[in-house]
Amino acid sequence: MPRHLDRGRTFTLLVLAAVSLTFGGQAIAQAPRQKPQARESAIAPVPPQDSELYCKNIAEAASDARIKWQTWKLISLEASLRDRIEELQRKEREFEKWVERREDLLNEVEDQVVSIIGRMRPEAAAAQLQTTDEEAAVGVLLKLKARVASSILDEMEPSRAAQLTQSMMGLTHPEIQRSF
C-alpha cells in the first residue's frame, strides 16, 4: 500500500480522535441562530444540512489537529536537515584532507621534476619543455636557477622561448599561477 495513503488515514484517525476527545463523545450539532425574517417573505428558509453543521462544529478541532501535525512534521524535517548538514560537514572535512594530501604530493612531484630538468643538459631540457604546455613550462622555468633557465631558453626555438619569457613576466597571461 502506498505510504501517502497510510499517512492520510493516520491523519484522519488523529482528527477523529481529537474531535471525540474534545466533545467527550457527545457531539451535538446545533444550527446557528438565524435572523427573524419579515412576514412578507413567501420563501421559507432552508435549514442547514447535517454536513454543514458538522463542518462548522468540527472546524476548530480539525484546525488544531492540523497545526499539531504540521508542527510535528516541521520538527522531523528539521531533524533530518540537521543530520544531512552534519553529513555534508563530515564529507567537507574529508575532502579538505584529500585536497591537502594531493597538494603535498603535487608539490613533491613538482620539486622532483624541477630537480630533474635542472640536472639535464640544456638541449635535452629544452626539448622536454618545448613539448609541454605553456603553464607547466613557465612553472618549471620559474623554479629553476636563473643561469639554468637561461641556458634552457637559449636552446629552444626563439618564438617558443619568447612566448615563455613573456608568460614568465606576466605580460600575456597575468592570471597564470606561478606553479604547474
% of the chain residues with pLDDT over 70: 72
pLDDT tens per residue, range 57-111? 899 999 999 999 999 999 999 999 999 999 999 999 999 999 998 888 777 778 8
Q: How confident is the model at residue 148 (pLDDT cuts 50, 70, 90)?
A: very high
Q: What is the pLDDT of residue 8?
A: 65
Residues contacting residue 154 through CB under 8 Å, at least 6 positions apart:
122, 126, 161
Domain segments of the chain as ranges = 55-107, 120-172
| 90 vs 179, residue with greater confidence | 90
| 96 vs 135, residue with greater confidence | 96
Q: What is the pLDDT of residue 27?
A: 47
| 4 vs 6, residue with greater confidence | 6
Q: What is the pLDDT of residue 46?
A: 76
Q: What is the pLDDT of residue 69?
A: 95
